[in-house]
Amino acid sequence: MTDMPKLHGSMVAIVTPFADGQIDYDALAGLIEFQISGGTQGIVPCGTTGESPTLSHVEHGDVVEFVVKQTAGRVPVIAGTGSNSTDEAVRLTQRAKDVGADACLIVNPYYNKPTQQGMFEHIQRLGEIELPIVLYNIPGRTSIELTPATVIRMYNEIEMVIAIKEATGKLDIASEIASACDITILSGDDSLTLPLASVGAVGVISVLANILPGEVRKFCDAIASDDLPTARELHLKLFKLFKGMFVETNPIPIKAALAMAGMIRNELRLPMSPLSDEYRDELARLLQGFGVELQA
């Protein structure tokens, strides 16, 4: 029986830093140590925030392997290994298992718009690899949405399905899922972490935690301890930055923030381009309000 990791609290959808077109592993190591020292409770490489669409398959596997080795068992590693090709997702997931990832994050198959049955069979096939699966329901990126009935069926019939990253923006979907089964629900939107917690979510896979891991951890701890006044206070305090991470397409703003702090180069792979100048001053002001020392 595969050990099932306990996923909860503040987890980070970590960026993939680049330098002159190549993966900057020195910067990535620094980011991982910054996350762990800041209290992050799980690291998610090669997701949307990690620019997985522009990583080669070799790079993808190498990044997951590097994160697993650098993390060294201190927190779970949930590798993004989804694809709109089941065979490709199988290869990426098998590699993640081989290098020691604790779980995989499987985005809904995008562009080809499968049926609910097709998505069920996709996850069923990935379950044969015996790496715990976190479903990733994000119709804004994929144009297809897992229905609550399909999520519940997957959880009940596919042993490896342990959690869902809920990014539909619809509280009723999380409520319906939580009312029918005990799958672990994780927020896929920083700004909805508190509302989702009210209907059963137990953590977040966060973008903002890349730059403020300690603040996001405090926020999640307040939620976990049922300290609603503190959780609400932190939610409202962080809200402008939660939204600021999406003034342009993720991960453009968070990479700009990390570059301002001197932690990475402000380098993305096309078709992603750096943050527009019109947003930079406001982002810098918000970061400085949380004590982030800016270098650029």
Tokens of 13: 């959808």
Residue 1 has pLDDT above 70, yes or no: no
Catalytic residue among 6, 97, 155, 165: 165
The CATH architecture annotation of domain 9-227 reads Alpha-Beta Barrel (3.20)
pLDDT-derived band of residue 4, with 50, 70 and 90 as boundaries? confident
Catalytic residue among 97, 136, 155, 255: 136
Residue 296: predicted pLDDT: 60
pLDDT-derived band of residue 80, with 50, 70 and 90 as boundaries? very high
Question: To the nearest whole number, what is the mean pLDDT of the chain?
Answer: 97
- The residues, any chain, with a CB within 8 Å of residue 29's CB and separated by 6 or more, are 66, 70
Residue indicated by tokens 């702090």: 261
Average pLDDT on 195-219 reads 98
Helix (H) / strand (E) element for 236: namely helix 228-244
Residue-wise pLDDT tens digits, 227-266: 999 999 999 999 999 999 999 999 999 999 999 999 999 9
Residue-wise pLDDT tens digits, 129-175: 999 999 999 999 999 999 999 999 999 999 999 999 999 999 999 99
Residue 195: predicted pLDDT: 97
Residue 3: predicted pLDDT: 78
Average pLDDT on 82-104 reads 98
* pTM of the predicted protein model: 0.96
Q: What percent of the chain has pLDDT over 90?
A: 98
Angle (CA) 254-256-258 rounded to 5° is 70
> Could you give the count of Cα atoms lying within 13 Å of 99 in the half-sphere of its Cβ?
24
| Distance, CA of 91 to CA of 88 (rounded, Å) | 5
Helix (H) / strand (E) element for 70: namely helix 57-71
243 catalytic residue (yes or no): no
165 catalytic residue (yes or no): yes
Residue 75: predicted pLDDT: 98
Termini Cα distance of the chain: 49
| Distance, CA of 45 to CA of 67 (rounded, Å) | 7
Residue 220: predicted pLDDT: 98
| Distance, CA of 113 to CA of 200 (rounded, Å) | 28
Contact 152, 158 (CB under 8 A): no
